[in-house]
A and B are shown apart, each in its own frame.
Chain A
Amino acid sequence: MTTHVDPRERRAFHHDTNENNQQLTAEEREKLLKPYLPEPPSDPASPAGSPERNARKAPKSVRKQKSIRSFLANQLHALVFLITHTIFSVWFRFRRAYHAVVHRIHALYHYHHRTPEYIRKDVAKLDRKPEHVSVILDLNESDDDQGNSGLEGLVHDVCEITAWTVSAGIPMLSVYEQSGILKNYMPQLHSAIMLTLGSYFGEDRKPILTLRAPLIQAFSPPATPPNGNSRPSSPDTPEPLRITVLLLSHTDGRDTMVDLTKTLADMAQKKTIDPEDITTDLINSELRDAVSGEPELLILFSPHVVLKGYPPWQVRLTEIYHVPDNVGVNYQVFLRALYNYAKVEMRFGR
């Protein structure tokens, strides 16, 4: 497709010289470009000589011909539009079916069976694991698309993902859900996650969970630590795993940055800060403390990449992983994201 430029033109474009290695002049270049140019703007003010002359000679017929031609072109374009869209919608459906098959095959090879050992085995060959994983979840109104709907489905997803994350040995998980409904149910969510962790790890070896949200105090119910301590911790049992789950919503994105700007503006009005002193580092440290650090890996369970208001400052260098045409939360996407992350070579500055 790139070869609709002939060698002479290519040489001119690359090196700005003609066949005899001479520098091209402006006129020569314009001549070369002529076939690629669009029609001159059709506004009447433009000093287009020939159409005007034609118009004076035979105004009506020319205009009629032109309008017929543009009408026909329009019809043709509409037809081609229809054809391309038909072809592509067939192709999209095929692609979706293909991806679903691939997905099933993956599911055959890797399934966690609610056992941390399986997950640990799955991730054992990865040399590089993220320290902080983030996921974007949706609150589904209806369950047309998948099994999980409403708050219950959302809580179930969070529980499962937390269990996978902690089994994979990742200490930090942030869960983004646009509406922020989860933040209203933190005690319930905590006990639900603990229940799931219990079913994965067994009651005795449950990891220690801290549930956090920006502006809300970390939630770790008082019942948990005494329970854990009351049992005589024998020296042969390994240190329990720890995981922090951070709940994010759309207010932690732009709104938080607006709040920061307001505070800075107040300070500037009181002359306690000079606008010149506002640096990237200052904003970065403020946002890191108020919201979260940068996650290394962001996993999307949606069919295509839309960030839906995810905190913008934090996604700067985050690896964004999604499986095309995937619908719903499942272990395969999670695992493939970790595999993909391990393969990628980190290159700063692109």
Chain B
Amino acid sequence: MGDSIYHSRMRQWFASSPPVTWGIRQLRELLIGALRQGPIPQHVAFVMDGNRRFARNNHLETVEGHNLGFEALARILEVCYKSGVKVVTVYAFSIENFKRSKYEVDALMEMAKTKLTQLSQHGALLDRYGASIRILGQREMVRPDVLERVDAAIKLTEKNTRCILNVCFPYTSREEITGAVQKTVSNFSKPIPPPLKRPFSETHITRNLRAQTNHSVPEDAQSQNSSSRSASTSSSKSSQENGQDYSSADAYPESSAPTLADPADTNEKIREVYPDSESITAETLTANMLTAEAPPLDLLVRTSGVQRLSDFMLWQCHQNTSIVFLDCLWPEFDLRQFLPVLVEWQWQRKKELENSGGRLRDKED
């Protein structure tokens, strides 16, 4: 017993000695740099599952488990951003999680608050990563004091564009989809503002045309013009007539146009013009999701061996996303577990490209 403690101490001392830490850090850098040589997923999502079980297994307090989970997140974010992932989405807190004990929920909120406060003190460092933070989810369910911190952090990082960290705070995918449907419907139920009235009317143009083509006998127009304006002389020079007609066009909106346009106008007021609902597509809904700006989800990783999506990224991940379920718990998750996932993803991508290339070649033959 004492022997094993001694050994673990030795191991700890050895692992934390400067040359070893330096070596490990260099190795990580090397591996990440090597990963960059292949295709890199643009958008990766994580379900950070297993903090509580980790704490239970290691006889720690639940809150400490969450703390270690936060550390694991920091490690993984480092890997992601250094290897060139543009968007990372993490499932931090589900709406269902509010059903947990009040003590735990409060502790989690407190943790979020502390971490965000710390974050806000290091604005310059965040700029180095070029990461901006977004919070996805039902904001109204968050305590106001936490929300204040959240907004401060978002504001601090909003100008960074290199990469994005989406934190799904009180989130469920069904709520997100419902929100997107709601938004789309309300966009399509707003009447299109009636187009601005143009200063030309079709009847006038046709009459003008007629007047031009048979200007030898411009009786109609002539008589009307002369009556309305007591023209000086009816010298039928085309230039003058044009000028006259032009001047009458100015008068149009006041006199004859309203009477002509009125019925149409009242019609429009009765039935408002709406955008065509048939123009709604899957892309419309995608654009109204909370992840609208992010590229399509390439990879979803869930730890702790649970093989469910648990209401996370349903809309985003059901097409071509590789979903990976890992058995390790989230606080243990590191480059060691993540590297095989990434390499396998690259491998699959390569295979797909080869296959599609082969099929294309077959078709060409």
Contacts and interface: CB of A to CB of B under 8 A. Distances in A.
Interface of A: 1-7, 13-14, 16, 26, 29-30, 33, 35-38, 40-41, 73, 76-81, 83-85, 88-89, 92, 253-255, 257-258, 260-266, 268-269, 273, 275-276, 278-280, 283-284, 304-313, 315-321, 340, 344, 347-350
Interface in B14-41: 15-16, 20-21, 24-25, 30-31, 33-38
Nearest to A277: B182
Nearest to B120: A26
A80 B34 contact: yes
B189 A265 contact: yes
A41 B34 contact: no
Given A16-B114, A305-B324, A348 B99 contact: yes
B282 A38 contact: no
Contacts of B323: 305-307, 320
Contacts, number: 218
Nearest to B100: A349
Contacts of A275: 182, 185-186, 189
Contacts of A16: 114, 118
B361 interface: no
A275 B182 CA distance: 6
Interface of B: 11-12, 15-16, 20-21, 24-25, 30-31, 33-38, 47, 49, 64, 67, 71, 75, 78, 81-82, 94, 96-97, 99-100, 114, 118, 121-122, 125, 127-130, 162, 173-175, 177-178, 181-182, 184-186, 188-189, 274, 277-278, 280-282, 284-285, 306-311, 314-315, 317-325, 332, 334-336, 339-340, 343-344, 346-348
Contacts of A254: 282, 285, 315
A312 B340 CA distance: 27
Nearest to B187: A265
Nearest to A24: B118
Given A13-B71, A260-B181, A92 B122 contact: no
Contact of A312 (B177, B181, B307): B177
Contact of B185 (A29, A76, A83, A278): A278
A253 B317 CA distance: 12
Nearest to B350: A85
From DSSP, what is the main secondary structure of chain B's interface residues? helix
B277 A269 contact: yes
B94 A280 contact: no
A53 to B, nearest CB: 20
A238 to B, nearest CB: 35
Nearest to B162: A41
B322 A304 contact: yes
A78 B38 CA distance: 9
B18 to A, nearest CB: 9
Contact of B96 (A30, A260, A350): A350
Given A275-B186, A308-B319, 12 more contacts: A41-B162, A77-B30, A262-B278, A265-B277, A265-B280, A278-B181, A284-B174, A305-B323, A307-B321, A312-B318, A320-B308, A349-B97
Contacts of A321: 307
A258 B281 contact: yes
A278 to B, nearest CB: 5
Contacts of A38: 81-82, 128-129
A14 B181 contact: no
Nearest to A321: B307
B12 A316 contact: no
A85 B348 CA distance: 12
A6 B21 contact: yes
B280 A316 contact: no
Contacts of A315: 309, 314, 318
B97 A350 contact: yes
Contact of A36 (B16, B78, B284, B320): B78
